[in-house]
Each structure stands twice: as C-alpha cells, then as structure tokens.
Amino acid sequence: MNLIAYYSNKEVQRILLEKSKNREITAQFNESFGKRPDMLQFENDISEMVKKGATSFHMSEEHWSNPLLLKPGMSKRELDELRIGWDLILDIDGPIELSKITAYLLLEALEFNDVKSYTIKFSGNKGFHIAIPFKAFPKKINNIKTKDLFPEGPRIIIAYLKEIIKKELSERIKNKEPFSLVDIDTILISNRHMFRAPYSYHEKSGLISIPIKKEDILNFNKESAKPENVKFNVPFLSDCKKEEASSLIMQAFDWNQKNIKKEEKQEIRIHDDFSEKISSEFFPDSIKKGLQGLKDGKKRFLFVLLNFLKYLNYDYDEIKKIVEEWNKKNDEPLKEGYVNSQLLWHKRQKRILPPNFTNKLYYMDIGINVSEREMKFKNPVNFAIRMFKLKHH
C-alpha cells in the first residue's frame, strides 16, 4: 500500500490533527514506536512523518495541558497536575465475530445508563474501540476531581459494564465464561496509555481503523476498512451533551464499592494467612515458560506476573528484578517507562489473583499452553501454594 498517498489525503490529515488536540501522539514505524512525548501541530507533520517511515498514529486517552512536558517516571501528583481530562475508551479484543456481539451489547448497556453520545470504530484488526468524551463526565466524583481518576475511573466503569452484559453475552456466544474468549481490556489502561487513532493504518491487517455506526456493527465487513474503500461520513469522539455520563460513572463507583467477585473473595480467604515466599521451583510450567520471554502478549503476561509474584509474597524490589530480567528475554522488550509505571501501579494496589488458567486471552492466545495438571488448580497461585505445601507439610 502507498501510505504516503493515503496519509496525504487532506481529510485524513484534518481528522488526525483535530482529534490529537491536547493529546500525546506517537507514530509507529512497523514494529517500533517513535519518540515520546510527541504531538501533532500541523497537518503537514503527518505526511512528513510518513515519509520518514511512520505507518500508523496512536493517541493518548488522557488530555494534557502540554503533552511535551511528559516524561518517564512522573509521580501521580505530577501527572494529575498536567492532566486536564481523559476519554473513556472501551477496547474490545477477541475474534471478530465475538467482538461484534460484545461491542453491540456494550452500546446497549451505555444507552441503558443514559449515555447516547458514544462513538465506535473498528480497531483495524479484530476488535473495536468505543469512545465517550471526557465532557460527558461530571467534574467531581466523591469530592475527587474526575480528571484525577485515571486509570482507576475507566477500569471501574469497564468492570461495571462487563458485569451488566456478562449474562446476555454468555447466552449469545454459548460460553459460561465469555470474557475468557473476548474481553474489554482494563489491564492495559495505565497512565499515558495509547490507542490507535481513527483512520490510522493497521500494520498486521493492512486495514484502516474506521469509525462505524451502531446499526452496522453486527454486519460489519472488513472490506469497508480497505484503504481504497474508506469513507469519512461517520464521526469518532465527537461532541456530546455535558455530563450525560454522570449516572454511568456514579453507578459504576457505587457498584465497585459493594461488589467483589465471589470467586476472588473465596480464593483470598483461602490464601490470606499464607505469608511465606514461594521459590520459582514451585511455579507452574506456564509461568516458567512465560518467564523465558515472549513474542506476543508481553503486556498481558506482565499483568499475570505482577499479580502472581505479589500474591506469593515477593517484595517490590524482588518483583522489579524478576520483571527486568524477564523483559530482557523478550523478542522486543517492553518500554522501560511502561514497565516502571506498571510496577508502581501494582505496588500501590491490594493484591489480587492473576487471571485463571481458563482465560485464554492471558495464556493460550499469547502462546502459553496450560497443561491438564495445571488446569486442576484453576489459578497459578493455587498451583504454587499447593506444590509448596505438599513438599513442606
């Protein structure tokens, strides 16, 4: 494909520049990303970057007073001072047919919560991005400025929406654990997290990330996302009614306070009194395999690893050392800034169990096979603790 010709299209340039206002922007150069922080100031910046090898553009969910002041390792206070808002981006990831159903049900759930000003786009490969502008949220929640509720705000709202649609999604795709097959990503939401910009090229599929209408989701055909078929008649992240998502965020936060998954509650009770650190000899083979380095799914495995090690009573410095050694073994290591932000985030959180072995998105889909023996224990933490107790008790 002639990317220079595509990105020279004035409509593509206009939309990219318009949507990039107050956002951090980075360009992708096939497998690697450009410098950060960066931003777009003129339409001509786009074609010039493409001439230098840029293939796609990614933008931050957060809005910044000055994106160029961002730097790695900033404290929450520094980020809060610089952040002026954030958009809610629901990132649906899974096989395309399941993603269609999930996206449609999410839009129904948003409408049920009085949110009408959502927009949606095809991610460019298998999933969809649903967006709600920051203007739709109230200025404060529980006396905290909403702009400062990142990334926990989006994480809580997404968990709430997943709970709303779980039963119907389960029935539609005929699976009791629908989010083991298709998911709405929360783990990748972190400070300075980015998503593919609208009308941006997708390197793996050769398709364009195009906005679509709700009525077209279930019958969406990738043919419409081929560069030669792209139309510019559907908006993305357009204007909205002020504070129309107030009910959504308040109900989500209320639900979050009252609800903890029964399964997690039971598991935490089982292991809460366990205080010994468990050495790697007792780790399940799936974790050992992931620790040897990965080609794909590195961010997902990092989420698994951080929760796994924290639950097995490793302290922050020990976890940091293990993660850094693991990252060096990856085909293309994760950016140091991303790894550090995840380490700091998890350091502040209460410990939670990593995803169960049945969750294909975190194991099978990233090339980690789980044995029948491991499946008997449901979760990597259960496996490690049981193996440890068998030897020592």
Chain-centroid distance, C-alpha 19? 20
What pLDDT shows up at residue 21?
Answer: 95
Q: Which two tokens stand for residue 168?
A: 């119907």
Q: Which one is predicted more confidently, 259 or 8?
A: 8
- CB atoms near residue 379 (< 10 Å): 24
Taking the C-alpha atoms of residue 66 and residue 77, their distance in angstroms, rounded to an integer, is 15
Q: Report, as an integer, the average pLDDT of 84-93.
A: 96
Name the β-bridge partners of 212: 120
What pLDDT shows up at residue 271?
Answer: 56
pLDDT digits (tens, 9 = 90+) for 351-385: 888 988 988 888 988 889 998 889 888 899 999 99
What pLDDT shows up at residue 246?
Answer: 94
pLDDT cut 90: percent of the chain above it: 69
Residue 265 pLDDT level (bands cut at 50, 70, 90): low
Q: Report, as an integer, the average pLDDT of 184-195.
A: 82
Class of domain 3-252: alpha beta
What pLDDT shows up at residue 393?
Answer: 62
Taking the C-alpha atoms of residue 196 and residue 215, their distance in angstroms, rounded to an integer, is 22
Residue 263 pLDDT level (bands cut at 50, 70, 90): very low
pLDDT at 269 > cutoff 60 = no
pLDDT digits (tens, 9 = 90+) for 194-214: 999 999 999 999 999 999 999
pLDDT at 24 > cutoff 90 = yes
pLDDT at 273 > cutoff 70 = no
Residue 227 pLDDT level (bands cut at 50, 70, 90): very high
pLDDT at 83 > cutoff 80 = yes
Q: What share of the chain is helix, strand, coil (3-state, %, to 5)?
A: 50, 10, 40
Q: Which one is predicted more confidently, 32 or 63?
A: 63
- Runs of H (alpha helix) within 52-128: 76-82, 96-112
Residue 259 pLDDT level (bands cut at 50, 70, 90): low
pLDDT at 275 > cutoff 80 = no
pLDDT at 389 > cutoff 90 = no
Q: What are phi and psi of 200, to 5 degrees?
A: -100, 150
Q: Taking all residues of the chain, what is their mean pLDDT, rounded to a whole number?
A: 90
Taking the C-alpha atoms of residue 177 and residue 169, their distance in angstroms, rounded to an integer, is 9
Residue 346 pLDDT level (bands cut at 50, 70, 90): confident
Residue 244 pLDDT level (bands cut at 50, 70, 90): very high
Residue 188 pLDDT level (bands cut at 50, 70, 90): low
Residue 58 pLDDT level (bands cut at 50, 70, 90): very high
Task: Indicate the pTM of the whole model.
Answer: 0.76
pLDDT digits (tens, 9 = 90+) for 123-135: 999 999 999 999 9
Grouping H, G, I as helix, E, B as strand and the rest as coil, residue 181 is: coil
- Among the residue ranges 18-22, 161-165, 227-231, 341-345, the one predicted with the least confidence is 341-345
Taking the domains of the chain in order of start, what are their residue ranges? Answer: 3-252, 263-392
Q: Which amino acid is at 181?
A: L
Taking the C-alpha atoms of residue 76 and residue 342, their distance in angstroms, rounded to an integer, is 12
What pLDDT shows up at residue 187?
Answer: 62
Q: Report, as an integer, the average pLDDT of 81-108.
A: 96
